[in-house]
Chain A
Amino acid sequence: MKNRSKVYLKLFLSYVGILSVPILLGFVIYGYTFTSVRRQAEELNTSLLMMVQRDMDKEIDNIQKISARMALDANVQLASRAKKDFSSDDQLTLYHLFNDLQTIAMSEEFIEDIFVYFNNTQKVSCINGTMSSDMYYNLYYKSDEFPFEKFKDYMSRFHYNDVLSIHKKSGGDVLVFTMTILYSAIGERSATIGIAVDYNSIKQRLVSMKWADGMNVMIIDKDNMQISADPESEECQKLTYDGLTSGNHLVNEKGEKPCIISVLESNKTAWKYVTVTPTSLIDEEAKEIQRIAVLGLFLCVITGFTISGYMTRKNYNPVKMLLETMKNHGSREIEANENEYQWLNNQINLFFQKQVNTERLLTSNRKSLKNYYLIQLLQDYYDGRPMEPYGIQLELGYNVVILFEPDARKEDIEENALQKFVITNVFKEMCLNCFYVEMLEIGERVAAIVNLPTGENQHIQVLKELFENFQQLTEDSFGFVSRIFTGSICRGMAGIHLSYQQAYDMEEYLNLLDTTLIIYDEVKNIHPEYDYPAELEEKIINAIKTGDSRQAVQTMRQVFDMNLGGQVSANIFRCLIYDMIGTLLKGANSGGYREAARELDLPDQKVLGPAEEVKNQFELLLDHICEKVTEIQKETSQDKTLSKNIQKFIQENYMNPDLNISITSQHFDMTPAYLSSIYKRQTCGSLLNYINTVRIEHAEQFLEEGISVVEVAERTGFRDSGTFIRAFKKKKGITPGQLKKKF
């Protein structure tokens, strides 16, 4: 794995690089979000306050409107005029007022109670009916801190859009918006309208407006009365109406609980709307984002790295596979200063280099192969296999084979090769103008297979012209004339062999026709052979051997008649004569007339006379030879008596150990050399050998008779037994002792 690190690392780093873009972006977004969260928190506070202000002011406005309406209400006005007690008429007015109050209370959910405090009569009309003020107080607002006297006092004074906060008897607080009725008699505040709003419903409003749990929304009035969404909050309880100014303030910055206090004043009454937001809350929002951002980054990194790793591995795998493949094929190890790609590149270059070399080799091989198959085509019968794969493109249906024989002597290999090269290239070039041709060297010759479209003879004419031009050219340019043998046009691939055979056979016409261009079609009509059976030749030879000229002439005539009976080509006749001369010479030779070839006036085979004349000439020759043979035979028969005499002399004197060729020649008064040669001519054996043969035969006979070896040696003319044993073993294959034992 050490080797993979480079490209692997590069891949991995590029993926991680891509990954870093969202990560960096994430940081930027996080930073931006953090600041915007703070800004948003302030904006939220501001808009919240505005909402509170709008909402509460609307309600206050509504309440003030209702107060004003009630203050001007005819029934209220009417009832307020009553002194001391209500009359029956007033009761009816109050009944109507009661119905009105019911309607108002019903339509305004914010309003808990609405009442009219009649100062003159100390009565109160409320949605629960008309009753005395003390009963009203006792039923609904009785409390120790706000005694009836105080209530009474408050109600009897002048109020205009005032707010009174009192405890309800049933628990909880209410805000009572009060307004003294208008148009009353001067100095007399005969009735006060009170509209009670439940603390809790305001508080609920405030609670519902909070945008976060930790913050507080509150209303603070000029008497520092507070309605707070979170009344428990100590910091908020410390706030005072006068201590607050509109706007956003950061309070207690370095204290334990820093918070932002936003203040907005009511447009309708002496209220201030306040939000108290601990900065920790905002930070918590931001922290939330921070957590999510960090988590996101973490996930991004984890998944990013995982995917990067995966992708890297996935994308590296093909490279790895290539590397493995390369390595498996015995490539060299990666060097330290190159990476996988460079290595691969080098390896692939190397591979292709090899490929090119191989290709080249293959091409030359193909050429050899082609030649091989061409030779096969020429020399063997075609086996039907396709030749195209070997580059042999003899597509047309007919072929003719032409053999070129260079002029050079066989021994001059260099010259021969040069000429072959010239032939191959020049002819090929010339021929390709007309036909497709395959050239190949075959031994000392060059063969050409010309591919022809048809088997028509006119192509031969074209070729012939071509040959002449070719020969002219080679003679002029290279100074030699090659011999050309042409076969016949044969059909198909299978015909190539036939054509070659024909061309090959044309060689024998070379001498007969004495030309450098032999075309099969021109010579095919000449019978190439003459009928000269061997038994007739034997008959002639035997006749000559015995000197029987009559028999010899008769047989020869028979041969001539056989072959010269009909039309005969000059060439054949010439061949026959040639053969016949051979026969004569053979006969003479075997008859012992060895000088016949030298002495006889043999017919000239080049300049032939008429057939009859040649025949007679042969008869005369035969007569002469036979005479000579008879003569020689007589001479050799005289000498045979001599050899018989010699053998007789040896038979008689074999026991003489001094018997040898010299003794024998002295006996017949001849030189030993002559004697020995005559004996040899007559018996075809050597004299010395004969002597030994006679001695051994006799020795065998003696051994058979039981005579000892030493004695036999003495008796048979051997000087010592050792010589005898050696000669005996040489002749018979076993020693005389061994032979004797047999008997």
Chain B
Amino acid sequence: MKKRGVSLLLTAAMLAGTLAGCGSSKETTETSAATTAAATTAAAAETTAAGGGAAAAPVASVYPLSAGDQLQYWCELTSTVSSNYANLGETSFGKGWMERTGVDIQFLHPPAGQLKEQFSLILADGNLPDLMEYNWVTDYPGGPEKAIKDGVILPLNDIIDKYCPNLKAYLKENPDIDRMIKTDDGNYYSFPFIRGDAKLLNTIGLMLRADWLVDLGLEVPETMDDWHTVLTAFKEKKGAVAPYTFEYTNGQYLTSDPFAYAYGTNRSFYIGSDGKVHFGATEDGYKQFLTTMAQWYSEGLIDPDIATLKSDQVSAKMTNGVSGASMGQAGSRMGTWTAAAQASNPSYKLVAAPPPTLKKGEKAEFGQIENPYSGRASVAITTSCKDIERAAKLMDYAYGEEGHMYFNFGIEGESYTMVDGYPTYTDLIMKNPDGLPISQAMSGYIRGNYNGPFVQDARYLEQYYTLYEQKETPEVWGDSNGKAHLLPPITPTSDESKEFSTIMNEINTYRDEMTLKFMFGTESLDKFDDYVKNINNMGLDRALEIQNAALERYNSR
């Protein structure tokens, strides 16, 4: 009866939505978005009515939920999982999650490295999974507000009010995060991945062979000149064919390039000291950065194959002595490489290097830092979802006490034990009997070591970093004023976003191409002005205008 009631309401709401859509909007996508919005409102209204006057606070869900339909959950299978499992549902984590929530989940994963492409295919197909884990902020053209208006995902305001007491409570306690995870229009759209501690925000940084430094009697480099010295030494004294290498094809690394930061810029947008949005790739600092890079490249300090590098090669080169310095995460890179290389070379050691500066002793103004909410790995409920309540309750689980522990530490007694009130991973994770690296062992039990719709716990990182060198990375890499220049997860309006992405696609392609040419020296840096001019002609001003407007809207959320 209740179900029927809801569906009736839904129908009514849809009808209302259709009528409203006919009157007010010409876009069918907007109509359907309005429909779903109306439907949720109707559903919420129903609960309010059913619960009497005091129904404003959502009632805590009782897990496991009663039996219901299977839900489809689409997410990228991170490499530390895919190396041992073909599907998240095969992991202990996946099984336990289903068992604890009582929700049968069918996990769907795009082929590795094809996240965005598969996402586009799914959207084009129209047959959406119930839940989609994605970066709705940066990777959906037009951003989350557009995704709602396109009728792809549901606005979650009423759903959170109704079914998600845990998330609601968390957001109430953390207003800054609350601001991040909604659109300018005030719509919630996802169950966010939140880094719950400042330590977790500095994840990428420079690292280099500490053992070589010791051999060569060199200090950990602090300035660009130091780096030049060290890399040259590696090449000449240690026989490194490609002294500096990193996964150039990984956009995240490229954007957080510490060497670009050293010149007070990066290749994309940042907040300048004027509080406005800047585009680094056309600024003077970027030219200086490219000049240095071109020089290094010509001197053979940078991997000649850098343009097409992916992790396999970088790992190979970093562990076999072809390279001596790289950039990456403390866990999946520094830890993994160290473990792999020490098998044949026990003296192998990596050390984190601080964000480089131009002058010695200067505190770096720029540095890699992430927003607690980057938009990454955030789960939206799609409009194809039939059982919204079930989906919402499944997602809300992770934001509660029990779910938080489960997502970050797994199963008590199996993957962790409480030692003096501190969740301590067991040897199953730390010294895996099957010889799995910690990251892979963890990935079988938790999501705390990568991402997902939950609040990440710093205590994971404290244990995940087994090496001293790893443990010090947050401090080393975080030693900058980077937070001031970090662009919060702003969202352009859906109207602007298309324009913005059109402009930026062209600019980025051109920038990447030109960056390589400048670096490879096939294009003289004398041409940098032409390059800037070209980018401006591509509508950079308009893009900046859009970004600044978005920032203003964000600030006034």
B64 interfacial by beta-carbon distance below 8 Å: no
State which of A88, A106, A109, A129 has its C-beta within 8 Å of the C-beta of B522.
A88
Interface assignment of A13: CB less than 8 Å from any CB of chain B: no
Q: How large is the interface on A (under 10, 10 to 19, 20 to 34, 35 or more residues)?
A: 10 to 19
Secondary structure type dominating chain A contacts? helix
Query: Are the C-beta atoms of A128 and B304 separated by less than 8 Å?
Result: no
Is A139 in contact with chain B by the CB < 8 A criterion? Answer: yes
Contacting pair A95 B308 (CB below 8 A): yes
Q: Which of B507-534 contact A (CB under 8 A)?
A: 516-517, 520-522
A510 to B78, CA, bound (A): 149
Q: Which residues of B contact A129 (CB under 8 A)?
A: 249, 305, 308-310, 312-313
Given A92-B516, A92-B520, check contact A131 B313 (CB 8 Å): yes
Closest to A112 in B: B111
Q: Which positions 114-139 of chain A face chain B at CB distance < 8 Å?
A: 125, 128-131, 135, 138-139
- CB-CB under 8 A from A91, the residues of chain B are 304-307, 516, 520
A139→B307 contact, CB < 8 A:
no
Residue B11 CB within 8 A of the other chain: no
The answer, yes or no, to whether B198 is at the interface (CB within 8 Å) is no
As a 0/1 sequence over residues 488 to 522 of chain A, the CB contacts with chain B under 8 angstroms (1 = contact) are 00000000000000000000000000000000000
Bound state CA distance, A130 and B516, in angstroms?
15
| Interface residue A94 (Cβ < 8 Å from any Cβ of B) | yes
Known: A131-B313, A138-B316. A92 touches B522 (CB 8 A): yes
What 0/1 pattern do residues 55 to 88 of A give for CB contact below 8 A with B?
0000000000000000000000000000000101
Asked whether B305 lies within 8 Å of A130 as measured between CB atoms, the reply is yes
Q: A388 interface residue, CB < 8 Å from B?
A: no
B313: A residues at CB distance < 8 A:
128-129, 131, 135, 139
Does the CB pair A92–B517 fall under 8 Å? Answer: yes
Instruction: Report the separation of the CA atoms of residues A130 and B308 in the bound assembly, to the nearest whole angstrom.
Output: 6
**Are B308 and A98 neighbours in the complex by a CB distance under 8 Å?**
yes
Q: A89-B522, A95-B516, A109-B111 are in contact. Are A135 and B316 (CB under 8 A)?
A: yes
**In the complex, what's the smallest C-beta–C-beta distance from A121 to chain B, in angstroms?**
11
- A116 CB to closest chain B CB (Å) equals 12
Chain B residue contacts of A86, Cβ below 8 A: 304
CA distance A128 to B522 in the complex (A): 24
* A106 and B117 contact, CB distance less than 8 A: yes
Chain A residues contacting B307 (CB-CB under 8 Å) are: 91-92, 94-95, 98, 130
> Whose C-beta in chain A lies nearest to the C-beta of B520?
A88
Minimum CB distance partner of A125 in chain B = B308
CA distance A555 to B210 in the complex (A): 196
Residues in B with CB closer than 8 Å to A89 are 520, 522
Question: How far, in whole Å, are A92 and B306 apart by their CA atoms in the complex?
Answer: 10
Contacts of A131 in B (CB 8 A): 305, 313, 316
Please pick, from A88, A106, A125, A135, the residue contacting B114 in the complex, using a CB distance under 8 A.
A106
In the complex, residue of chain B having the shortest beta-carbon distance to the beta carbon of A103: B117
In the bound assembly, the distance between CA atoms of A94 and B312 in angstroms comes to 17
Q: Please indicate which of the listed interface residues A86, A91, A109, A138 has the most CB atoms of chain B within 10 Å of its own CB.
A: A91
A575 CB, nearest partner CB in chain B, Å:
116
Q: How far is the CB of B307 from chain A (nearest CB, A)?
A: 4
Residue of A nearest to B118 (CB): A106
From known contacts A88-B521, A128-B313, A138-B316, infer whether A94 and B111 are also in contact, taking CB-CB under 8 Å. no
Q: How far is the CA of A567 from the CA of B531 in the complex (A)?
A: 178
When distances are taken between beta carbons in the complex, the residues of chain B under 8 Å from A135 are 313, 316
Interface centre among A86, A98, A125 (most CB of B within 10 A): A98
**Residues of the B chain whose Cβ atoms lie less than 8 Å from the Cβ of A128:** 310, 312-313
Q: How many Å lie between the Cα of A696 and that of B114 in the bound state?
A: 176
CB distance from A172 to the nearest CB of B (A): 12
The distance from the CB of B119 to the nearest CB of chain A, in whole angstroms, is 12
Whole-angstrom CA separation of A94 from B516 in the bound complex: 12
Q: Once the chains are docked, how many angstroms separate the CA of A439 from the CA of B306? A: 147
Please indicate the chain A residues that have their CB under 8 angstroms from the CB of B312 in the complex.
128-129, 139
Interchain CA distance A95-B312 in the complex, whole Å: 17
Q: Which residue of A lies closest to B517 (CB)?
A: A92
**CA of A463 to CA of B276, assembled, Å:** 149
State A89–B523 Cα separation when bound (angstroms).
Answer: 10
CA distance A128 to B306 in the complex (A): 12
Q: Give B536 Cβ to nearest chain A Cβ, in Å.
A: 24
Report A570-615 residues with CB < 8 Å from chain B CB: none
A106 to B517, CA, bound (A): 26
CB contact list, B313-341 vs A, under 8 A: 313, 316
Most buried by B among A88, A94, A98, A109: A88
B residues within 8 A CB of A139?
312-313, 316
Q: How far is the CA of A129 from the CA of B249 in the complex (A)?
A: 9
Task: Write the nearest CB–CB distance from A210 to chain B, whole angstroms.
Answer: 21
Residues of chain A with a CB closer than 8 A to B114's CB: 106
Q: Which of A221-249 contact B (CB under 8 A)?
A: none
A-B pairs with beta carbons under 8 Å apart, 29 shown? A88-B297, A88-B520, A88-B521, A88-B522, A89-B522, A91-B304, A91-B306, A91-B520, A92-B307, A92-B517, A94-B305, A94-B307, A95-B308, A95-B516, A98-B249, A98-B308, A106-B114, A109-B111, A125-B308, A128-B312, A129-B249, A129-B305, A129-B310, A130-B305, A130-B308, A135-B313, A138-B316, A139-B312, A139-B316
Extra pairs beyond A109-B111, A130-B305 (14, CB < 8 Å): A91-B307, A91-B516, A92-B307, A92-B517, A128-B310, A128-B312, A129-B308, A129-B309, A129-B312, A129-B313, A130-B308, A131-B316, A138-B316, A139-B312
- Residues of B bordering A, CB below 8 Å: 111, 114, 117, 249, 297, 304-310, 312-313, 316, 516-517, 520-522
Measured CB to CB, the residues of A under 8 A from B are 86, 88-89, 91-92, 94-95, 98, 106, 109, 125, 128-131, 135, 138-139
Q: Which 5 A-B pairs have the closest CB atoms?
A: A88-B520, A129-B308, A95-B307, A98-B308, A130-B308
